Structures are given as structure tokens and as C-alpha cells.
């Protein structure tokens, strides 16, 4: 049975520029059925409701996305949301959520999960989560999920861990160091060492413990959140939040806290995790025909291989095309080599410059 002080928190503020043109301001990545028939956030909510009752599940996002998430999920209410006025990266969002949960329950343990990650083995994930919560509740530690790598990926950060787990756990390891996204040769060395895990961006800790670490490493952010805490549950809260949030400098929890903290532990997971970070990642996860094509929508591919094609509108017919991403959605057609799908963000960033801001 899950710890009575445990809360699940879903981080859902991003748009997902790499999934344009499907992902837009009014249809962000986590609200799309990128993999399968359900939206990414609905898959995440269903997974976490297996360990958290609805009243102990929170989603931190902006007001606009909260409205869209509520429209998809009639079981949720505004009580399930923590609103951030604008995106300031992960550390401010986590600090705000920690302050709110600590006020609700001084012994609160919080698990933090991006809204748009895929987990294929839920049973193993829940076992890892339970073990992480047990350790976090007992000790002044910061726990992150490290994923056992299946390939020398260059798109993920890595965490180096000790070779043996903690004496009182078979799944939790002491961390040695964080490593940025490596080149291919370095990634191969990481894999052969057996000491490096993918950094998943999922965390578990007590709310009071992470707030102390933020006070130590990000004192300006802590001061703002501490001031904000005094106005919680008062009529002044929304006004104070808007005013103070503007003064916060964006910073990630990894860069701001985790890479500096002394008591970081890692749950080692093998539960089929992907951050689904690009159309090429989606292609790798989907079932393919005998020529390695994925076709979502109507059409026909002749003498073609290795393509991912999605069309919500027109039928797509192609001959002798290979290793392409083709997305036709909401009046836009995108064509890009599969191995360049990470660079779609650059196209999106250029839209306002070329007078196409309406396509964001």
C-alpha cells in the first residue's frame, strides 16, 4: 500500500515544438494521441491513479492548458491543478508544488512526472515508484529515476551510479555524477561501463527536503516561493503569484539543484521508458509494415521504406520515398528526413519571423 503522505504531481506546461504541426498552442503534445489512441497526459493520469487517489494527484500547468486538460478529463476538477502563470522551466514549478503540498501535509512525499513520457511496463514502474517513496519518506534524500539504457542514445542525459545498490534496497543506488548528452563514442563507453543510466526527469522526495535544497542552491527562488507561501489560502494569493512569478529566473531542477546536491539516490528502472522526444522516436515505437513504414491515416506507399506518415486530412500516396517524416495536419504539410526530426523546433521558432505566427 502506498504511503499515506504520498502525492503524484504531473508537470504539463510544455507545447512540444518538435511535434509541430500536430502540436500547437491549442493542441500541445501531451494532449495528443501521439502513441496509440489516448493522449499522453491521459495515459500518465491513468498510470498514477493506480498509486494515488484523485484527491492526491496534482497537475502543474498554465491556466490555458488546465482548461484543455479538464475538457479531456471530466473526473478532474480545479482542485487537481497548480497554476503557474508562465513557463519558467522545472525548478520554479517544482518549488511552487512543494510549497503547496507542504502546507497541505507537512510530511508530504511528492513524485514528479512529465505529462508526455511513455512507460510500457506499468507493473515494474509501480514497483520502482513504491520503493522510491519508501526510501524518500525515511531519509533526507533526493531520488530520481534512472533508466537502464538499451542503446547508446545521444539524446538523453546520463547519471553515473555506484555498482551496488544501497544496503537496504535492491533498486536504489547512490549517484556519482550527472553527465550531459554525450556524443556517440562517449555514449558507447557509458553503456559498456554498466554504471550509467538515462536521466528520465522523474523524481521523488519529501516536499520539505526539496525546499531546503532549493533554499541552499537557489536562494532567490526560495525567497520568492517563501513569500508566496504566506499568501496561500488568502484572497491575495492570485495577485501575489502573478506579481512575484514575473521576477523568477527560469532554471531547470537538474542544473539548479540535482547536479549540486549531496544526497542524490537513483531508482534503477527497466520499465520500457521513452520521453517520446521527436517524430523519429515515435517511429521507433510504432508497429511497422514489412518495409519499415508507419502510416497513420489513409493512403498508399509504393516502393518506399522507413517512413513515418501521419495525415488527419488528405490521403497520402508516395512512391520511392525513404526515411521521411510526413505530417499533414490542420492545413500544414511537413516533410523532413527522419534523422533530422529533432530540428523541427528550428522551423517552429522561425514561424513568427516569416509572418506565420498563426501556425504556432
The per-residue pLDDT for range 56-102, each reduced to its tens digit, is 999 999 999 999 999 999 999 999 999 999 999 999 999 999 999 99
Tell whether 236 is covered by a domain. Answer: yes
More confident position, 1 or 300: 300
Tell whether 1 is covered by a domain. Answer: no
Once rounded to an integer, what is the mean pLDDT over residues 16-39?
92
Residues 289 and 348 in one domain: yes
pLDDT digits (tens, 9 = 90+) for 276-310: 999 999 999 999 999 999 999 999 999 999 999 99
pLDDT digits (tens, 9 = 90+) for 311-356: 998 999 999 999 999 999 999 999 999 999 989 999 999 999 999 9
Residues 256 and 346 in one domain: no
Residues 245 and 285 in one domain: no
Tell whether 301 is covered by a domain. Answer: yes
Q: DSSP state, 262?
A: S
Tell whether 331 is covered by a domain. Answer: yes
Q: How many structural domains is the chain composed of?
A: 2
Tell whether 263 is covered by a domain. Answer: yes
Residues 32 and 141 in one domain: yes
47, 53, 58, 64: CA torsion to nearest 10: 80
Tell whether 55 is covered by a domain. Answer: yes
Tell whether 82 is covered by a domain. Answer: yes
Average pLDDT, the chain: 94
Q: What is the pLDDT of residue 15?
A: 83
pLDDT digits (tens, 9 = 90+) for 107-154: 999 999 999 999 999 999 999 999 999 999 998 999 999 999 999 988
Among 259, 274, 289, the domain-final residue is 274
pLDDT at 36 over 90: no
Q: What is the pLDDT of residue 342?
A: 87
Domain membership of residue 338 as a residue range: 279-359
CA atoms of 171 and 334, how far apart (whole Å): 43
CB atoms within 10 A of CB 217: 19
Task: Please tell me the number of Cα atoms within 13 Å of 306 on its side-chain side.
Answer: 10
Residues 144 and 270 in one domain: yes
Q: What is the pLDDT of residue 140?
A: 94
Among 242, 274, 306, the domain-final residue is 274
CATH number of 260's domain: 3.90.550.10
CA distances from 32 to 58, 69, 326, 347 (A): 20, 11, 17, 20
Q: What is the pLDDT of residue 303?
A: 97
pLDDT digits (tens, 9 = 90+) for 197-248: 999 999 999 999 999 999 999 999 999 999 999 999 899 999 999 999 999 9
Q: What is the pLDDT of residue 304?
A: 97
pLDDT digits (tens, 9 = 90+) for 146-187: 999 999 988 899 999 999 999 999 999 999 999 999 999 999
Tell whether 269 is covered by a domain. Answer: yes
Among 219, 242, 274, the domain-final residue is 274
Residues 207 and 302 in one domain: no
Q: Which residues lie below 8 Å from residue 138, measured CB to CB, with a gap of 6+?
A: none
Once rounded to an integer, what is the mean pLDDT over residues 265-277?
94
pLDDT at 1 over 80: no
Residues 39 and 139 in one domain: yes
Residues 36 and 125 in one domain: yes
Residues 251 and 321 in one domain: no
Residues 162 and 262 in one domain: yes
Q: What is the pLDDT of residue 115?
A: 96
Bridge partners of 327, per DSSP, are 310, 334
Residues 72 and 207 in one domain: yes
The verdict on whether omega for the bond into residue 18 sits within 30 degrees of 0, i.e. cis, is no
Residues 224 and 76 in one domain: yes
Amino acid at each position: 500500500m502506498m504511503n499515506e503522505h504520498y502525492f503524484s504531481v504531473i508537470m504539463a506546461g510544455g507545447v512540444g515544438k518538435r511535434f509541430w504541426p500536430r502540436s500547437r498552442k491549442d493542441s500541445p503534445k501531451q494532449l495528443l494521441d501521439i502513441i496509440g489512441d489516448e493522449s499522453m497526459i491521459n495515459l500518465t493520469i491513468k498510470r498514477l491513479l493506480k498509486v494515488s487517489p484523485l484527491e492526491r494527484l496534482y497537475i502543474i500547468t498554465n491556466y490555458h492548458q488546465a482548461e484543455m486538460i479538464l475538457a479531456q478529463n471530466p473526473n478532474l476538477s480545479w482542485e487537481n491543478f497548480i497554476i503557474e502563470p508562465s513557463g519558467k522551466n522545472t525548478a520554479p514549478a517544482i518549488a511552487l508544488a512543494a510549497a503547496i503540498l507542504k502546507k497541505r501535509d507537512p510530511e508530504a512525499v511528492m513524485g514528479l512526472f512529465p505529462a508526455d513520457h511513455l512507460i510500457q511496463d506499468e507493473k515494474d514502474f509501480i514497483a520502482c515508484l513504491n520503493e522510491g517513496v519508501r526510501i524518500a519518506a525515511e531519509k533526507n534524500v533526493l531520488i530520481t529515476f534512472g533508466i537502464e539504457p538499451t542503446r547508446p542514445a545521444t539524446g538523453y542525459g546520463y547519471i553515473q551510479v555506484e555498482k551496488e545498490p544501497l544496503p537496504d534496497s535492491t533498486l536504489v543506488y547512490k549517484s556519482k555524477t550527472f553527465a550531459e548528452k554525450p556524443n556517440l563514442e562517449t555514449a558507447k563507453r557509458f553503456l559498456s561501463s554498466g554504471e550509467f543510466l538515462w536521466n528520465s526527469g522523474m523524481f521523488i522526495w519529501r516536499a520539505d527536503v526539496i525546499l531546503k535544497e532549493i533554499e541552499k542552491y537557489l536562494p532567490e527562488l526560495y525567497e520568492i516561493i517563501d513569500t508566496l507561501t504566506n499568501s496561500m489560502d488568502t484572497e491575495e494569493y492570485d495577485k501575489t503569484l502573478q506579481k512575484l512569478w514575473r521576477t523568477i529566473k527560469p532554471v531547470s531542477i537538474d542544473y539548479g539543484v540535482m547536479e549540486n546536491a549531496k544526497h542524490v539516490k537513483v531508482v534503477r528502472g527497466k520499465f520500457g521508458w521513452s520521453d517520446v522526444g521527436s517524430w523519429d522516436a515515435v517511429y521507433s515505437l510504432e508497429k511497422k509494415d514489412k518495409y519499415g513504414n508507419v502510416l497513420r491515416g489513409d493512403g498508399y506507399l509504393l516502393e518506399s521504406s522507413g517512413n513515418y506518415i501521419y495525415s488527419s486530412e488528405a490521403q497520402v500516396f508516395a512512391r520511392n520515398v525513404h526515411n521521411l517524416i510526413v505530417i499533414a495536419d490542420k492545413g500544414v504539410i511537413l516533410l523532413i528526413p527522419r534523422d533530422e526530426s529533432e530540428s523541427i523546433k528550428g522551423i517552429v521558432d522561425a514561424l513568427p519571423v516569416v509572418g506565420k505566427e498563426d501556425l504556432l
